[in-house]
Structures are given as C-alpha cells and as structure tokens.
Amino acid sequence: MEFDNRIVVVTGAAGVFGRWITEAFWREGARVVMADARKDAAEAIIAENRIPAEHAMVHQTELTDEASILDLVATVTARWGVPDVVVNNAGIYPAGGLLQIDTAEWDRIFNINVRAPYLVTREFAKAMIAAGRKGAIIMISSGAARALRKGTVPYCTSKTTLERIAKGFAIELAEQGIRVNVVEPGFAPGSVVSPLSPDYVDRMLSRIPLGRSSGPTDAPGAVLYLASERASFITGATLAVDGGNSLGVFEPGPIAGKR
C-alpha cells in the first residue's frame, strides 16, 4: 500500500471530513495521529475501525491554545517521529453577517481556521526540515475562499486567508522539498461543531451541479493524491472537489432559450 507505515497527522480528525480522511489513510497502511479536542470521539472512531495501537494515536488538541499545538508536535515527534504528511482539516463554519458577528466570534473563527493551521504547519515544517524529511502538507479549505456568501463573509474571508498562507508556505518550503497544497471539499452536512438547519442543507444541495453532497471518498481521494509521489511536482495548487459548486450560480432546469 502506498502509505505503508507513513506518519500522518490530521487535525479535526473526529469531524466529518477528518474521519473520512483518517480512514482513507488507514486503508492505505498509514499510521495516523488524530488531533482533536474531542478525545472520546476520536477513540470511538479507532475502536469502530478496529485499528491497532501502532497505527493510531489520539492527541487532545485545543487549536485555540498555542501551547496545546506545541504539545501536539512534541508528542508526535517524540513518540512516532517526524510526520510525512500533515493535513490541516479542522475548521468551523458559523453563520453571521459582518454587522452582526461579535468580536469574540470573529476571533474564534480566525483562531481555528487561520491561526491554528499556520502554527501547526510552522512547527511541523521546522521538525521536517531538521530531520531532512521531504513531506506534504495539505490545507482543507472551501469554495467559499473564492465566492463570498451573504451571512458567512467572516468564514469566507478566513478561508481566503488560509489559501494565501498555504501558497506562502509552498514558496518558502519548496527548497526543503516540502510541498503545500489545498483541497476544497464539497458540501457535506453533519458536523457537530457547526450544525446546519435542514432548510439550509436543502438550499445548499440544490445549488450543486452534480446533484449530491460530498461523500466519504471524494475529498479524501484528492488528499491522498496530493500527499502521494504522483503529485511530487505539485505545490501551491488548489484542487476543488465540490461537484461544480464553486463554478458559479447554478439554477436547476433547462438552459434559458432552449425548448
């Protein structure tokens, strides 16, 4: 298997996309560190998949706390060594307009969606460079980085910022052989951290040209590709895996003017 015994770190690993990405790497033989504030949820995923201890590690990471992130890096490198792949998956998707959102919520969005992946990437990259490890770092973003949506502008802005940081890291780490890329997954309801109303889910699904939500193999397939040797000449790229949702405004029905 392509990732046999490779060390992979996934933040927000107990979430919807985090779980799918984690399970995809396990299927390819990787040893995965599940970094998530919800330790019990991460451990339940390991038990459900019957993953042996040598292929699964849980770190209770509080991404708003720099000390917790530093402990994640120290724990992983001390116990398993320097990772081959780091996936910055954790993120929150709260609604709120620019005039309504308060400062504390604004800070929470940017702390988790921007500051945390910056710190995680910075610290693991330092460890990779010190060990001479040519690894891959992947940011999980969103089509919202390129298309503003009324009522979620703070979230959209955080993802735009994340993608610029990813490209910055790609430039600065290229000489060390560390590749940094972005995956923009499609819409997938079910997050406990960012719950969505049924009406909102229905409206979002109606806008996807390929007619369905993102599934368990869609975004993980893109992550595996960008982390693999097949993508050894790709860095600073953004791959949208969203059923065409970020192409533009989509209205179901016949093309205008056609009969």
Options 93, 155, 200, 225, the catalytic residue: 155
Q: β-strands 238-241, 7-11: how paired? A: unpaired
Q: Which helix H or strand E contains 221, and what residues bound it?
A: helix 218-227
248 vs 250: CA distance, rounded Å: 6
Q: What is the DSSP letter of 207?
A: T
For residue 155, indicate whether it is catalytic.
yes
C-alpha closest to that of 59 among 82, 43, 81, 83: 43
For 186, list phi and psi in degrees, rounded to 5.
-80, 180
Residue pointed to by tokens 């509080």: 62
At residue 125's C-alpha, the angle toward residues 117 and 184, to 5°, is: 40
Structure token pair of residue 86: 């780091």
Asked if 83 contacts 35 with a C-beta cutoff of 8 angstroms, the reply is no
Using an 8 Å Cβ cutoff, are 97 and 109 in contact?
Answer: no
In the block, which residue shows the tokens 């992130």? 69
Residue with tokens 């985090």: 18
The values of phi and psi at residue 23, to 5°, are -65, -35
Catalytic residues: 155
